[in-house]
Amino acid sequence: MIKVGIIGATGYAGAEIARLLYSHPEAEVVWYGSRSYIDDRFASQYGNLFKLIDAKCLDDNMDELSRQADVIFTATPQGLCASLVNEDILSRVKIIDLSADFRLKDVSVYEKWYKIEHKAPEYIKEAVYGLCEINRDKVKSARLVANPGCYTTCSILTAYPLIKEGLIDPDTLIVDALSGVSGAGRGAKVANLYCEVNESAKPYGVANHRHTPEIEEQLSYAAGKEMVINFTPHLVPMNRGILATEYASLVKKDGHLADASDIRKAYEKYYGGEKFIRLLDDNVYPETRWVEGSNYVDIGFKIDERTGRVIMMGAIDNLVKGAAGQAVQNMNIMFGLDESMGLEIVPLFP
């Protein structure tokens, strides 16, 4: 039985990890860490787990936790994990960090976009970017995994095969993405109040959203060259979900402009055997309602022959595949378990 600690357990992502691990046959949570609710019962904050989880919330003492757990999930704001981790801790326990502290390989890029000093740059090179379907072989032997962001998971997976296969011009990629309000976290913010969000949709972080360099870095590896993209996120009045719509110009391959058959073959090549990526039928497009509560990624595409571009679309649940579910998937890989263990959840509807 894998002993698990969660730091940041009472945030949305941390609580989702707790929910998923409650039914995991090979994992047991031994520490629900929450600086804001020390000594409160975890279920007092999440009534859906009343009579299911009886534990009290503890603090964020990572050193002590590392002596009790086999793996620690840090579902915390940027900067906290980097400020706590050290060699002694990593010698005893594996860490899956859901913040951005170890996602970017250039510390100056991290500090520019997140506007904080990195407290543990010596671990950036070692950390494995935990996008399971692309980096699972590296995840297997990792002791520090940087769990990808929600927008980035959806945006990267939706475009990756076409960039990797050279079917689209990476310099033309544009990503528009919609997110539910839970993506902003559980903290009280005026902009996230019901009256501020309901019956409205808005772009935000225009040309400067901090997930931009993460998307660019990972897709640059696929392209084999540095990429710069336009990424525009939007907030929409729903609890969960991300829908990414991406546009890029098709390029010639084998003497002809890539067509629908080429596109589908590329997706099948990379994702045909993937449990959690569902490539939709022709003229069927992703909807957030069909992945809600699950670890699935739904992907569809459409070629616009008039403009010579392809429109790629992906949908995920931002709290599951975009955060907690992917973190548990990484844990399964790290400990040699069936990757889907504890995650074979049928999407919720309605």
Name the segment(s) of the chain with CATH classification 3.30.360.10: 151-318
Which residues neighbour 255 within 8 Å (Cβ) at sequence distance 6 or greater? none
Of the candidates 13, 205, 222, 16, the residue with the CA atom closest to the CA atom of residue 131: 222
Model confidence at 216, in pLDDT bands (50, 70, 90)?
Answer: very high
What does the pLDDT look like over 95-128, one tens digit per residue? 999 999 999 999 999 999 999 999 999 999 999 9
C-alpha to C-alpha distance for 273 and 241, rounded to whole angstroms: 24
What does the pLDDT look like over 310-327, one tens digit per residue? 999 999 999 999 999 999
Q: Report residue 302 as tokens.
A: 């459409």
What does the pLDDT look like over 126-182, one tens digit per residue? 999 999 999 999 999 999 999 999 999 999 999 999 999 999 999 999 999 999 999
Fold for domain 2-126?
Answer: Rossmann fold (3.40.50)
Which of 132, 150, 154, 195 does the annotation list as catalytic? 150
Model confidence at 187, in pLDDT bands (50, 70, 90)?
Answer: confident
> What percent of the chain has pLDDT above 90?
97
C-alpha to C-alpha distance for 201 and 93, rounded to whole angstroms: 42
Q: How many residues does the chain have?
A: 350
What does the pLDDT look like over 254-285, one tens digit per residue? 888 999 999 999 999 999 999 999 999 999 99
Q: Report residue 28 as tokens.
A: 């047991």
Look at residue 112 in the predicted model and tell me its pLDDT: 97
> Taking the CA of residue 296 as centre, how many other CA atoms within 13 Å lie in the half-sphere pointing to its CB?
19
User: Is 150 tagged catalytic?
Assistant: yes
Look at residue 31 in the predicted model and tell me its pLDDT: 98
Decide the pairing of beta strands 202-203 and 230-235. Answer: antiparallel
Q: How many CB atoms lie within 10 A of CB 174?
A: 13
C-alpha to C-alpha distance for 21 and 136, rounded to whole angstroms: 20
Task: Check if the beta carbon of residue 62 is closer than 8 Å to that of residue 72.
Answer: yes
Average pLDDT of the residues of the chain: 97
User: From 3.40.50.2300, 3.30.360.10, 3.90.1150.10, 3.40.1380.20, which CATH number describes the 151-318 domain?
Assistant: 3.30.360.10
Name the segment(s) of the chain with CATH classification 3.40.50.720: 2-126
DSSP string, 8-72: TTTSHHHHHHHHHHHT-TTEEEEEEE-GGGTTSBHHHH-GGGTTT--PBEE---HHHHTTT-SEE
244: pLDDT strictly greater than 90 = yes
pTM of this prediction exceeds 0.95:
yes
188: pLDDT strictly greater than 90 = no
Look at residue 280 in the predicted model and tell me its pLDDT: 98
Of the candidates 329, 290, 345, 334, the residue with the CA atom closest to the CA atom of residue 133: 329
Q: Report residue 223 as tokens.
A: 């392209």
Which residues neighbour 71 within 8 Å (Cβ) at sequence distance 6 or greater? 2, 3, 4, 5, 93, 94, 95, 96, 331, 334, 335
Look at residue 113 in the predicted model and tell me its pLDDT: 97
Look at residue 62 in the predicted model and tell me its pLDDT: 97
